Chains A and B, each alone.
Chain A
Amino acid sequence: MARHNVMEQMICAAARLLENGATVAVGTGAPCAAAMLAQKTHAPDLLILFEAGGVAPILPEMPISVGDSRTFFKGVMATGMCEIMETCQRGLVDYTFLGGAQIDMYGNLNSTVIGPHAEPKVRLPGSGGANDFASFCWRTMVITPQDTRRFTNDIDYITTPGFLTGGNARDEAGLPPGTGPYRVITNMAIMDFEEASRRMRVISLHPGFTIEQVRASCGFELLVADVLGVTDPPSDEELAILRDEVDPGRYIIGRS
């Protein structure tokens, strides 16, 4: 049996990107696990915000909903959605984590429909708070497994803005300057976005994966950094905290 699984690798990689003292708006699932792990390891002063109004909870376990009572358990404030979103809009929130059914080379996300909007093949939930967080937070991170269907330039619908059509398109559209996608963390690699074109670029491979595998599991052409790093595997300490304290029920990291 492998020492750790891909979800554990993704969560650890994401957690390490959250520095101590940072502010992060998270949803449930892997993003919340990453924030909890960061808080229990290198970032005890991480400020966690939930869109429904939970501020700085001491999370006793993984919430099921971004509005359930765990999201403000022993928190400093239980407020409302406008307060949280406007805190982001005022520029106080460094990071957010998002996912989606589709992502394109500029980090635009679709969580609304597969197929035409008027006659959808699959109706998905919609934006929720994703468009808001990705517009307002300084750095958007995406945690998602990659395959050629999910990583596609034939995105059916842009729910949530990445760099739109690349270059300066995001600023020109009117979104707050200096914001945008920062990292994409997949089961195989970590990507950033190249400065001028704003195209997705592989910067680090998880142990055991090759750049050929990463390319073959992506529906568009990926840029590759000049110096390609190797992601550190989860440490014994990270794995122990993740398995025993963050997700003892194995809801996110799986029961494998």
Chain B
Amino acid sequence: MDVVKRGKGELFTSPDPDVAREFFRAKNKALVAKVMTVQEAVRRFVHDGDYLAIGGFGANRIPTAVCHEIVRQKRRGMGFLGHTSTHDFQILAAGEVFDRCDVAYVVGLEARGLSPNARRYMESGKVRVTENSNYGLSLRLKAAAMGLPFLPARHLMGTDTFEKSPASIVTCPYTARKLVLQPAVYPDVAAIHVHEADVFGNCRIRGIHISDLDLARASRRLIITCERLVHSDEIRSDPTRTLIPYYLVDAVCEVRYGGYPGCMAHEYFSDEEHLRKWLEVERDPEAFAAFLQANIYGVSDFWEYLERNGGMRKLTRLRRMELRIRAREEDHGQA
């Protein structure tokens, strides 16, 4: 295939499938219990300098507890895959944990507006940026999940997004059309929040899975947080529902309401009030530092964060919102 053009974006990770194969060959595939705290999982599997990816999309089914813990343990110099990364990006930018980023969508929180602090961080010159699109990053993960160095697509051509990407344009050997090749991305570590998992890491997700099935397969190490641990007999009673098998998983952490303040389909809706508070308080760096102290640095774990922000009272209300259960007026008033 003739290379017509190369994007000038920096390639932050090796797309070499044989390097990945060596790693996956050595990875422990034993059926052993991996349940641990988020604190331990981050300590063992997330290192300074690692290239990190976070599952979910926007503030939906994100592993918030892992993001908080990475900030709390003060990881530095990481790479980051910014694949419609909104509240998770906001948290990680607040901790300044990454200094290079593949961007498809960052800084914004969709209809809610832009994060002032994440913007400041991205405009500070502290972060090396390579651009792409959402599908571009999904495809880079898919290539890795397939054990390949790249996959082709028919987008980006003619734009600055291509120029600042690590993609190449080639001539198709069959049709002579131009194609974009997206290099595989094998993250060092990823964290994904799911509905149910057993102690070994077999996972179930309800609703959209976005790019998480490929992300789980592409990543060298994988931390799972789940709403609920279920017995392995339950997993084996209906294996069609398993979307991530145990041998991809390094840690399983049971974190009820672990996607808060984001939306978790069939469980609880997003806490728009709290997300708005983040955006507001970020305007003033001093107030934001105090806010981070109160919500991340100064709390011991995710339970404490939930309790500081309304606890079960609020979570019960968010659960009713998600399930569209209209309760009596006074019940709404309580939260």
Q: B324: which A residues are within 8 A, CB to CB?
A: 60
Enumerate B152-190 residues with CB–CB distance to A below 8 Å.
153-161, 164, 169, 177-180
The residue of chain A having its C-beta at the shortest distance from the C-beta of B263 within the complex is: A68
From B114, B154, B266, contact of A176 by CB (8 A): B154
Q: B134: which A residues are within 8 A, CB to CB?
A: 51, 81, 85, 127-129, 132
From B106, B122, B160, B207, contact of A158 by CB (8 A): B160
Enumerate A76-119 residues with CB–CB distance to B below 8 Å.
78-82, 85, 89, 108, 112, 117, 119
Stretch at the interface among B196-204, B209-217, B247-255, B300-308: B209-217
Instruction: How many A-B residue pairs have C-beta atoms within 8 angstroms? Tell me.
Output: 199
- Shortest beta-carbon distance from A234 to chain B in Å: 22
Q: Is A254 an interface position by the 8 A CB rule?
A: no
Residue of B106, B157, B264, B269 most packed against chain A (CB within 10 A): B157
Q: A217: which B residues are within 8 A, CB to CB?
A: none
Contact with A along B50-62 (1 / 0, CB 8 A): 0000001111110
Contact B112 A132 (CB under 8 A): no
Enumerate A118-138 residues with CB–CB distance to B below 8 Å.
119-132, 135-136
Please report the C-alpha to C-alpha distance between residue A83 and residue B8 in the assembled complex, in whole angstroms.
28
- Shortest beta-carbon distance from A116 to chain B in Å: 11
- Shortest beta-carbon distance from B140 to chain A in Å: 11
The residue of chain B having its C-beta at the shortest distance from the C-beta of A160 within the complex is: B159
Question: Size range of the interface on B?
Answer: 35 or more
Contact B270 A64 (CB under 8 A): yes
Q: Is B104 an interface position by the 8 A CB rule?
A: yes
From B59, B61, B208, B264, contact of A71 by CB (8 A): B208
Q: Is B322 an interface position by the 8 A CB rule?
A: yes
Q: With A54-B208, A80-B208 as known contacts, state yes or no: A161 contacts B157, CB within 8 Å.
A: yes
Question: Size range of the interface on A?
Answer: 35 or more
Residue of B138, B206, B213, B214 most packed against chain A (CB within 10 A): B138
Residue of A89, A161, A251 most packed against chain B (CB within 10 A): A161
Please report the C-alpha to C-alpha distance between residue A30 and residue B90 in the assembled complex, in whole angstroms.
25
Contact with B along A169-181 (1 / 0, CB 8 A): 1100111100000
The residue of chain A having its C-beta at the shortest distance from the C-beta of B213 within the complex is: A80
Please report the C-alpha to C-alpha distance between residue A55 and residue B195 in the assembled complex, in whole angstroms.
21
The residue of chain B having its C-beta at the shortest distance from the C-beta of A82 within the complex is: B138
Q: With A81-B138, A125-B106, A174-B177 as known contacts, state yes or no: A131 contacts B56, CB within 8 Å.
A: no
- Which secondary structure dominates chain A's binding surface? loop
- Shortest beta-carbon distance from B169 to chain A in Å: 7
Contact B60 A136 (CB under 8 A): no
Please report the C-alpha to C-alpha distance between residue A230 and residue B177 in the assembled complex, in whole angstroms.
41
Q: Is B313 an interface position by the 8 A CB rule?
A: no
Instruction: Using CB atoms and an 8 Å cutoff, list the residues of chain B in contact with chain A.
Output: 56-61, 82, 84, 86, 103-108, 110-112, 114, 119, 122-123, 125, 129, 131-136, 138-139, 142, 153-161, 164, 169, 177-180, 206-214, 263-266, 269-270, 272, 322, 324
Q: A128-B105, A173-B158 are in contact. List 18 more A-B contacts (CB 8 A).
A: A52-B58, A65-B60, A67-B61, A78-B206, A82-B135, A82-B138, A119-B125, A123-B107, A126-B82, A126-B104, A127-B105, A129-B84, A129-B133, A131-B133, A158-B161, A161-B159, A170-B158, A174-B177
The 4 A-B pairs at the shortest CB distance, nearest first, are namely A174-B178, A53-B208, A173-B158, A67-B57
